[in-house]
Structure 1
C-alpha cells in the first residue's frame, strides 16, 4: 500500500518545494473556508437579508475583474515567491486592522464586512494567477495531472474539515472567530512560503507594456482555438456558479431552515465525497480521455445538476445534485488547469491565467447579481433552475459548433 501511494503521488516524497507550496495552500484555504462560512452567517444574523448575503458574495467576485489580469502581468515580471509572500502578509494585516476597528464598535456596521470582503477578494484575485503560474516551475510537465489530483484530494479534505470546524467554531465562539482564524492562516502561509527554495518564476527580463501584454494574450487565443472553445464552455459554468453561489446559503437557511450543524454537515456532503472521488480517479480519466471532451461533459453535467436541483426542496435531492455539481466542477477544473499548464509557455502563463481570472471574475458577478436581482421576484429554486437551463443550452450549442470553432486543432 505504501509503495502504491509513493508511486502514484511521488511528488509528495521527492519535491520539497511542492510540499511547502501545498502546505501553504492547505493553510490559506482552511482559513478561507472559515471566512466563507463566517461572513454569510454574520450578515444573515445582523440583517436577516438574502439580498445582502448575495450582495456580499457579488462583492467577493468583482475585484477579479480589475486585479486578476494585473496580478498575472506582475507575476510574469517579478519573483512569484515574493509576490505570494506580499499578498499573504498584507491580507493578515488587513484582517487584523478590520478586527481592531470592529472591536471598538458598539453595533457592527455591515460596511466593515463589505470592505473586508472586497479587499481580501482583491488580494486573492492577484494570488490565483501567480500561484497557478508558479506550479509548472517546480513540477515537471509529466507530473502536472498528478499535481492537480493532489490538490483535488487536499481540496476534498478541506471540504470535509472546513465546514465542520467552521460550524463548531460558530456554535462555540461565534462567527467572528472564523475571521480571526482566516487572518492567522495567512500569516502561517506566509511563513511556509518563506522557506521555499525557488523564486517560482521563469527568467524573463523583457519589460513589456500592458498594451503589449494584452496583444500577447489576444494573439495566443487567436492562434489556439482549442483555448477559445474551452474558455467559452467554462464561461457558461462561471455564470451558473455565480448564480448558485449567491443564493445557495440563503436556500439552506431560509428555505430548508438548517441548523448550524446541518449547515456545515451539508457542505461536507456537497464537497468532500465528490471532490475526493475526483482526486482519486481523475488521473485515470484524463489519461484515457481527451481533456477537451472531459471539459464538455463535465460542464454539461454541472449545468444539468442545477436544472434538476431547482425542481424540488427535497433535502436529499438537493444534496445529490450538489454532489454532482462539485464532482463535475472538480473534474472540469483538473482537466482545464492541466491542459493550460501543459500547453501554454510558462513565460506567458501568468498573463493567460490572469486573463482567465478577469473573465471569471466578470462572469461570476453577472450570474450573482442577476440572481440577486431576481431573488425578490422569483423563488430561489426557480432561479437555480433557470440559470442551469440557460447555461446548459449555451454549452450544447457550442458543442454542436465545435468543428467550426476549432478548425486547426
Structure 2
C-alpha cells in the first residue's frame, strides 16, 4: 500500500497473532472445564460470560477511540490482557476450581476486546490512504475467515499435544507479541482528547440510542439478531460438550467439523458483495435467517462429524450473508456522523442475548435434556425470527 503499507502491516500482523491466540483460548478453556468437571452447564456459562462485556463496554470503547490516542489504547489493552490471562491461568491451576473466581477472570479478560475494538477499526483510516480502505478491510476479513477454517484444527492439535493450560500460556504470549508489534506503529497517530469524557459518553449513548430505537428498520434488524444470537449460542456454547462428551468424538474430529463449518463463512465472504447487490435487503435478511434456522435443524439428521461439519458450513454461510447484508444496510441508511454510535447500540442489543442463550443451553443439558432438544429449540427460534423479520419494517426494506 505504498507509503502506508508498513504501518498497516504492523496492524494486521498484530491482529493475526492475537487471533491465533484467541482460537487457542476458545478451544482450551471449555476443554479444561469439561475435563476437570464434566459440566456442560459451567462450560456454557463461561462462554456466555465472555460476551457480557460487549453489552456493558461497547459504547465506552467507542468513546475512548474518539477521544484518546488509538495506538496507546491498543497497547494498553493488550498489556491488560496479558495480566488477565495470567490471572485466569492461576485460577485454573487450583486443584479445585472456584467458579466465582473463574467467571470473574473470564469477564476481566473478555472486557479487553470491546474496549479496544473500536480503536482497531478506526485506526485504519489513520494509517491507510482512502483509496486503499477496501483492500485493508479485505485483508482483515481474509485473515478472520481463513482462521475460521485453520484455527479449530491447528488450535485443537496444540491443545491435544501440549494440554489446555499450556495452550493458554501461548495465548498469553500472543498478547505480548501483539504489544511488541503495535509499538512499531508511528507515534504521530493521535486523537483529540476530551476533557469531559463522562459527559460526552452519556450524550453519545443518548443520541445513538434515540436514533437506533426510532429508526424502525435498524431497530427491527437488531431485534432479529437478538433472537438469532440467542438461538445460535444455545448450540455453539455447547458444541465441544456435544462432540466430545455426548457423541464421544476425539477433539480432533470436533475441530475438523468446526474447520469444515468455517468454509461456509469463507465462501459467503467471497460471494457476499455480489449477493447483497442482487437482492433486496429485507428479503435477503429474512430469507438468510430462515435458511440458517432450517440448516440448524438439519443437525438432527445425522451425528457423523463430517456431516455435522457440512451442516455447520451451511449455517455459517447463511449467517455470514445475513451479517454482511445488515452491515451494508446500516452503512447505507445511517448518517455517517452517528454511524459509530448506532453500531455500538445495535451491537449491545443483539449481543445481550448471547450470554442468556449460552446459559440456557447449558442449563437444559445440566437438567439432563438431550442435545436433540437444544438443537430443536435453537433451530425453531432462528427460523421463526426470520419469518417475523419478513413481516417487520426490516422485511419491507429494499
TM bucket, shorter chain: 0.7 to 0.9
Are 2:107 and 1:118 aligned? yes
Match of 1:6 in 2: none
- Which of 255, 258, 277 lines up with 2:246 in the alignment? 255
Within-5 A mapping of 1:189-200: 189-197=178-186
Task: Name the SS of the counterpart of 1:303 in structure 2.
Answer: helix
The 1:284/1:197 distance shift into structure 2, 3 A limit, reads farther
The 1:12/1:291 distance shift into structure 2, 3 A limit, reads farther
- Which of 173, 177, 183 lines up with 2:172 in the alignment? 183
CA contact (8 A) 2:227 2:385 kept: yes
Deviation at 1:283, TM superposition (A): 3.4
Task: Name the SS of the counterpart of 1:378 in structure 2.
Answer: coil
- Tell me the number of residue pairs that the alignment of Structure 1 and Structure 2 aligns: 395
Deviation at 1:128, TM superposition (A): 2.9
5+ unaligned residues in a row in structure 2: which ranges?
none
Task: Name the SS of the counterpart of 2:253 in structure 1.
Answer: helix
Match of 2:50 in 1: 60
Match of 1:27 in 2: 17
> After alignment, is 175-184 or 70-79 more displaced?
70-79
Match of 2:120 in 1: 131
Cα RMSD between the aligned structures?
3.1
Match of 2:371 in 1: 380
Match of 1:8 in 2: none
Are 2:358 and 1:365 aligned? no
Match of 1:400 in 2: 391
- Which of 149, 159, 179 lines up with 1:160 in the alignment? 149
Deviation at 1:164, TM superposition (A): 2.1
Deviation at 1:66, TM superposition (A): 1.9
5+ unaligned residues in a row in structure 1: which ranges?
1-10
CA contact (8 A) 1:150 1:279 kept: no
CA distance in 2, matches of 1:312, 1:252: 13
- Which of 329, 341, 344 lines up with 1:351 in the alignment? 341
Deviation at 1:260, TM superposition (A): 2.4
Within-5 A mapping of 1:157-236: 157-197=146-186, 207=196, 208-222=199-213, 224-236=215-227
Give the structure-1-normalised TM-score. 0.84
The 1:403/1:119 distance shift into structure 2, 3 A limit, reads closer
The 1:381/1:317 distance shift into structure 2, 3 A limit, reads farther
CA contact (8 A) 1:243 1:370 kept: yes
- Which of 309, 325, 334 lines up with 1:335 in the alignment? 325
Give the structure-2-normalised TM-score. 0.86
> After alignment, is 76-85 or 33-42 more displaced?
76-85
